[in-house]
Amino acid sequence: MNSLFVKIPTWVQHFFHKQLWSIPTDKKEIYLTFDDGPTPKITEWVLNQLAEYNAKATFFCIGKNIADHPQILEKTIAQKHRIGNHTYNHLQGWKTKTVAYMKDVLKTEKLLNQKNLPNTHKIFRPPYGKIKSSQLKKVLAQGYKVVMWDVLSADYNKKISKEQCLNNVIKNTKPGSIVVFHDSIKASKHLEYVLPKVLEHFSKKGFLFKAIC
């Protein structure tokens, strides 16, 4: 997937139709997602921001970070956010053999199975949005829903300003949009500027923030 796409073109969504790109709805609902955590301080800051607006979100977690920071994951679960699989080592699918890729996915699944999750966690997002067709087929065969996005904040991109990052989200988000942020050190500077403003902006417009079911 071309990371330069802030708004994923409709033709891409139609062509890769086995993945979920947005949620069809006529309601004022937005689906915020956060990749790459749990990360000390940053994920907890995100949780506090979401709580101020009674917002629910979806966190696609890296298995290694779950193993290193289980208490942060527990806090995320306790606040009734949805947890998804983001591989164990943040693997780039196009550069990884399918057998190794699936071993990584299942390693994270094993960790999540040890948690008392209130609902199914069988949702998956490929790191970088890059996944081979052979990997996609096997992930789907494991019962996962593969969740992509239709709005990329690009909060990780140091070549853009925090104002541009905010504009990426404000300009392109519509009812049913799945928006990508990252609760990571790399993205934290932009995230700390953008997330509060996104929550405030859309809340004033009557939107609700929901977790992916």
Task: Considering the candidates 121, 182, 183, 190, report the single residue annotated as catalytic.
Answer: 182
Continuous segment of H or E residues that includes residue 9? none
Do 72 and 62 contact (CB within 8 A), yes or no?
no
How many degrees, rounded to 5, is the angle at CA 151 between CA 13 and CA 56? 110
Known catalytic residue: 36? no
What are residue 192's phi and psi, to 5 degrees? -65, -25
Closest CA to 6 of 150, 184, 192, 205: 150
Handedness of CA 190, 172, 150, 129 (dihedral sign): negative
Task: Considering the candidates 35, 36, 150, 183, report the single residue annotated as catalytic.
Answer: 35
CA–CA separation, 103 and 178 (whole Å) = 27
Active site residues: 35, 182
